[in-house]
Structure 1
């Protein structure tokens, strides 16, 4: 054996061992979480966390210090979750004599214990994805600043980036806002909490800003700590430079540090030698900055809370950081250094134009320093400063912390600024969209979301969040009005409990809500982990194929406290009994899963099929699982505009994205596939049949290929495009090759834009054994193609009578239908899309008003 082969085998073994070790660790962690979640909640224990454990910082620190000194709360014990070693040592030293105070390392077993049993939870960011609030716990999320930068769903790709944040907000009992703007713009607007968040919004200001009120002794202590860290101050006033972290906008942190050092030197030159510029970096940048001597001499240590530094500073220079909102409470001047304003505004975006900020704005650090120096020397205050202070720091009187504690720990309401979130009267809908794979269910789900009247309905889409689970362009089709909730992380519960759950699913008989305590506890906790305390009026499993999702939606809580349960609907996109028995490569892969789903039909109020004929079939074939009156019909919505736009796009766009990726990697672009070359070379002499669908048994592409072979023998100009992917791809390709059709019949694989291929073809043909309501038939009609289809139940109501040439489930009959197209005997299909959509919308509205 060669040395390289041995090295590869050793490397592979090492990877397997590491993978096994990670799985074992996750299993042990899950068991620990499950154990502590079974223990009683400790009503007098408070757990604090700031910035994922980066220190005792921000609003949680201010609340902690106040509670610690307030005799009314002497009974409380306090646990800090910290990840920073320096912070842990400082913490130990400062509170060594107070037995009420302890720390846990974030991510450790002790952290999991504290998060599972603490009666009070206070965080300025987010807890991990596995966290699920328990009954008896009270969660205060203080967040960490009034936003200037776009947040939540307002950001580009914000739905995915905000998944865990939204989850934490929905679990919170209290959300703290520094001002009404933050409550309305960020919480209710950017994170879409209007209508669904049942907790309390507190608009009393920020506790951390109380800490900016320093007396002479406190200010002297701050200056001494700065001197002790290497910053030479003397008796000069401090100008604090606090740039924000721009995340992935910097390719190399070291390059950023070089730029930061140059900016700091120019800023210092601008403000003059009679003041000292002190650098306060984001936690991510601090380690890099402290390693550079020219920055270390001016760098504020993380041991000094930001608001304490603000209180000791005569002026502030920042860019897009929310720190300046806090500083408005001091009345001292601010200058804004924004060297990349245009790029930042177009990339991340801001809520207010930068030229309206409450201080001079410049893209040159020396100019920024001179502008701030002039304000410090007594120039007239910036004209917009007072109005910004009134709008964004209206309640900062030094008593914010006490008021927040009164509300959260004391239950006070009268005379305090604490309110529920806004409710605009719209009906709240929750729809699980399915796996978001490129298939008919995904298309139908997206079309439904686009057809809903969002002025009447508040819509939440539930999506999976797995690696590569959702195509970004597919997700981008979700309307902007739709709130997106992702099921991130994994379920809590011991391995023994999950084994019982999986055995039930394997048997095809999962428990129904309330059947057994262990089952109810497991799924109630999972609902809380995903949705928090959010409530909905109507919930729907639009996929209808996954028992986990079907079970989860059955555990949606009552519409309101003590109110009725939501209406529950589940979709049936096919003849479900046939789907259950369908085999692929000799395996009935959906038999157990669909069996489990069927067993839960009786718990759903509405069983929705996508055609009238399909409703009748499912009502008869599934009669043992649900009463007849629960079976309903809502046909699929077509997205006419999307189809028309796709049909108009040139074929050359099919490979533009992949070509750009090859060019970026300096790699040779591979040759175009044969089907593409044949389409491009066709000058109108060929006749193209096309079908679109998953390459699976119920589509019966094998029959289509056999029928096409007979057509091609008589009509050599005939060509066939089979668009889609699936488990039968290799088998179908062998059939094409064995039939000698490799230059006439083509498997294109799945295509992002199949409509351009429809537009390039002469006839749409469908060879399925059974279907739900095949959306492809509607799309083919929108593209104006003649249509030939085999006979199955739902084909007869898919389009107006006579629009489809329907033939028997027979090779010869299908071939005859295709030849009829070539002979000009099958006219193009047509559809009055406006009337069709109006009818389908009425069907859907009937569900919602039932």
Structure 2
């Protein structure tokens, strides 16, 4: 029996794996199909593709524009297409029939016909974003209507979601037209999605097409009669979704809403009716048959048609109240979880600044529903519904389709300064990240507009890493690399995996990455693009194909990296160093290996890393803290006792990887301890593949009880400050900013005599030793004899010089 069960489990897993492979293949084929048409087809000037919520719906602004395009004979020559999820096709058909939208066809969202239309349709209209493969073609006219006025924070303003805003931001930036109902919304969207100095299209403060319905109250009266509700007082409840898809919060919200509805049903009278529209994950779990005075929204109708016929709106934190206020009817905010909700999710405007009554429980709610409107929302409507009016769809279609400039076009601020795009990598806890943040701290950001870019998936595990960036910098997350033709797949595999290179391979590698650059950044003008991290063959090749002046930083001896590591790609590194506009070693010591790889002295510029010496001093004065992720061979209390005793404390800080020379250092310390029987060695590291190996190696030494190994400390400076000597034991290295940190805190420094730290340590009077066990051991003896001085560098002047060097990158060679 067990054998049979094991067999079926194995078969089931194999089927799942096969399904994943087939799904991936299908996705690749669709992408290839799209790219084929992207290159081979001309635009069809009479084709309009409309996308409402990525095919999940047909309503709101998209529906109203579709009504105009279908119902007005002026557009009779145009063909309308709607994208639809496969499970929403029937619903979408019914909507088209109900609203008499003819000359329209439905295509499957992200299906072959949809991708073909994305490449061929001249006019694209969306209220969200496009598939990740989408690249705008020359001549396409894209309109983004969005789908609501923001109350809850969006884009960069949401700390734990800013990393994922890239596809929405891209869709906004590539749009020719953005529609907004108010200056308030325009300003929020531009700021939240970092569009200042990037967006090249036009903003139409036209009002929302969907809100025009509220200027025809007579249509609401007719619909109410049609639905047999004319003799009732009708309320509508549209709360915000609070749950998390697939988690227990969904069940909690269902029970919570159901409880409130049961209470309301008991308190409402027979001449009162409550219509409810909930998020689908909650709505499908509610049985409306158990209620006498409550029912779901009538099927088929756009929610705004229903809103136009009711007497009062009940909501909470949903932006629907901005739109509904156009009716002049009463709005009640049912905010039973106000404090909890607002703690979890920030908002732009405090609810208390709005004129609407707020209630906390059902009893208060029903009492408030039976009161007449007793507040003045004139100023509210002036601010938040500023441009809403009749016939918005008609006006907008004239402007964007017929090119009749009936609306005033606005542009986003362009201060005329150069835009600089910087790829920063993962912002992991390492010296490279420290150097990058120090640079941002010291540059004069008023000279240029700086934007930091990164791959979204790199931040999924720790989204709050984005908050390390200063508030003044814009962010441009990208979704990654999607969509290749079979020839491009073959070329990239041969190039990156098989390390083959010829004219044919490079033709398709460059075609792919130049299209990827255009897809991710191509609608914005960047005068300079900087690959700051300097690592990663994909992003190096991406920036290699930038149409702008590209700059790459070099943080290490890349000749050694290529010899000793398998995660570097020689062809890509050599090509980058040979052809980039500027190649930037961060110390004179790594000039020679950089030149050796690129063989181009004309594009090499030395730019020293900046040093946040004031921040280091501030951090060193904080208490020692072990983070949740900290793993240490001693407890915090034991560490503090050791740091306070009189024995010498030697320390190194660096990731657990081969080039850091930790085993060499351990052997040197073990030799020192065997003779002198005193002292401690502290190794603090972040990530690195050799952590377990280092730990095990230390346990086999005679000095093991005097070796402290700590994995991950967000702030190791208080520990560093209490030590007596810093040792950089690297076999190869860039500059090694931790040398500067130790010197800032008054520690003498021993460094291995290798390119990278050598120049700095020599210049400022530090102590160099051969990169060997004997060399480091002799350094420890020299320290005992008082022969290792503190360098005491003037870091204010040092940073000024580094920024002077940085400024030369923006000069012509």
Aligned partner of 2:339 in structure 1 is: 342
Match of 1:581 in 2: 563
Which aligned pairs between 1:19-98 and structure 2 lie closer than 5 A? Answer: 19-39=17-37, 40=41, 41-83=43-85, 85=87, 88-89=90-91, 91=93, 94-95=96-97
The answer to whether residue 468 in structure 2 is matched with residue 477 in structure 1 is yes
Give the direction of change, closer, same or farther, for the CA distance of 1:524–1:709 in structure 2 (3 Å limit): same
Verify the 8 A CA contact 1:261 1:294 in the aligned structure 2.
Answer: no
Pick the aligned partner of 2:551 from 539, 558, 569: 569
Contact 1:513 1:555 in 2 (8 A): no
Matched position secondary structure for 1:239: strand
Q: Are 1:842 and 2:799 matched, yes or no?
A: no
CA distance in 2, matches of 1:267, 1:510: 72
Within a 5 Å distance, the mapping from 1:350-749 to structure 2 comes to 350-376=347-373, 379=374, 382-383=375-376, 385-413=377-405, 415-466=406-457, 471-472=462-463, 474-506=465-497, 516=507, 518-557=508-547, 566-583=548-565, 588-590=566-568, 593-615=569-591, 617-618=592-593, 620-622=595-597, 624=599, 626=600, 628-651=601-624, 653-655=625-627, 657=628, 673-674=633-634, 679-682=639-642, 683-724=644-685, 725-733=687-695, 735-749=697-711
- For residues 258 and 124 of structure 1, the distance between their equivalents in structure 2, rounded to whole angstroms, comes to 32
Quick check: 1:688–1:761 contact (8 Å CA) kept in 2?
yes
Please report how far the alpha carbon of residue 251 of structure 1 lies from its aligned counterpart in structure 2 after TM superposition.
4.5
Q: CA deviation at 1:571?
A: 0.5
Structure 1 residues 249-288: Cα deviation after superposition (integer angstroms, max 9, x where no partner) = 9953333233324434666788866442222223443322
| TM superposition shift of 1:407 | 2.0
- Give the direction of change, closer, same or farther, for the CA distance of 1:764–1:302 in structure 2 (3 Å limit): farther
Counterpart of 2:82 in 1: which secondary structure?
strand
Supply the distance in 2 between the matched residues of 1:115 and 1:839 (Cα, whole angstroms).
Answer: 50
TM (normalized to structure 1)?
Answer: 0.87
Alignment check: 8 A CA contact 2:541 2:572 kept? no
C-alpha contact 2:491 2:506 (8 A) present in aligned 1: no
How far apart are 1:174 and its partner, in Å? 1.9
2:106 equivalent to 1:103: yes
Tell me if the contact between 2:451 and 2:476 (Cα under 8 Å) persists in the aligned partners: yes
Shift of residue 712, structure 1, vs aligned partner: 1.2
Residues 436 and 470 of structure 1 are in contact (CA less than 8 Å); yes or no, is this contact kept in structure 2?
Answer: no
Offset from partner CA, 1:110-147 (integer Å, 9 cap, x none): 44444444332222122333333334433221111111
How far apart in 1 are the matches of 2:804 and 2:292? Answer: 66
With over 3 angstroms needed to count, the CA separation of the structure-2 counterparts of 1:126 and 1:524, relative to structure 1, is same
Equivalent position of 2:137 in the other structure: 134
2:173 corresponds to which residue?
A: 170
Q: CA deviation at 1:8?
A: 5.4
Change beyond 3 A, Cα 1:237–1:174: same
Partners of 2:199 and 2:412 within 8 A in 1: yes
Shift, 1:730, TM fit: 4.9
What secondary structure, in the 3-state scheme, does the structure 2 residue paired with 1:597 have?
helix
Counterpart CA distance in 1 for 2:92 and 2:690 is 63
SS of the equivalent of 1:447 reads helix
CA spacing shift, 1:803–1:755, aligned 2, 3 Å: farther
Q: CA deviation at 1:699?
A: 2.6
1:144 to 139, 142, 147: 147
**Quick one: distance in 1 between partners of 2:461 and 2:612?**
20
Distance 1:136 1:510 in 2: 35
Q: TM-score, normalised by structure 2?
A: 0.91
Aligned length: 804
Query: Secondary structure of the residue that 1:809 maps to in structure 2?
Result: coil
SS of equivalent to 2:214: coil
Aligned ranges for residues 109-128 of structure 1 at < 5 Å? 109-128=112-131
* Paired residues for 1:292-311 under 5 Å: 293-294=290-291, 297-301=294-298, 303-311=300-308
SS in 1 for 2:553: strand
Residues 720 and 472 (structure 1), Cα distance of their counterparts in 2 relative to 1, 3 Å cut: farther
Q: Distance in 1 between matches of 2:761 and 2:576?
A: 32
Query: Given the superposition, is the C-alpha separation of residues 266 and 736 from structure 1 closer, same or farther in structure 2, using an over 3 Å criterion?
Result: closer
Residues 270 and 368, structure 1, Cα contact 8 Å, conserved in 2:
no
Return the offset for 1:446.
Answer: 2.5
Partner of 1:230: none
The offset of 1:645, in angstroms, is 4.5
CA distance in 2, matches of 1:631, 1:197: 33
Distance in 1 between residues matched to 2:428 and 2:549, nearest whole Å: 27
Deviations 1:86-122 (A, max 9, x none): 6624615854998722213334444444444433222
Q: Who is 1:563 aligned against?
A: none
Q: Alignment partner of 1:820: what SS?
A: helix
CA contact (8 A) 2:132 2:482 kept: no
1:202-221 alignment, distance < 5 Å: 202-214=204-216, 216=218, 219-221=221-223
Please tell me whether the aligned partners of residues 33 and 116 of structure 1 are also in contact (alpha carbons under 8 angstroms): no
1:642 Cα deviation after fit: 4.3
The match for 1:667 is none
Q: What is the aligned partner in structure 2 of residue 785 from structure 1?
A: 747
Over 3 Å counting, the alpha-carbon distance change for 1:217 and 1:753 in structure 2 is closer
CA displacement 1:475-502 (0-9 Å, x = unmatched): 3311222222222153212233122123
Q: 1:284 to 1:357 in 2, by over 3 A?
A: farther
- In structure 2, stretches of 5+ residues that fail to align are none
User: Which has the higher mean CA deviation after the structures are superposed, 759-768 or 206-215?
Assistant: 206-215
Secondary structure at 1:375 match in 2: coil
Structure 1 contact 799–831 (Cα < 8 Å) conserved: no
Q: Is contact 2:725-2:749 (8 Å) kept?
A: yes
2:237 to 241, 259, 265: 241
Displacement, 1:37? 3.0
1:466 alignment partner, SS class: helix
Equivalent position SS for 2:475: strand
Change in 2 beyond 3 A, CA 1:283/1:623: closer
The equivalences for 1:271-310 within 5 A come to 274-289=271-286, 293-294=290-291, 297-301=294-298, 303-310=300-307
C-alpha RMSD of matched pairs (Å) = 3.2
Residue 16 and residue 254 in structure 1: after superposition, are their counterparts in 2 closer, same or farther (change >3 A)?
A: same
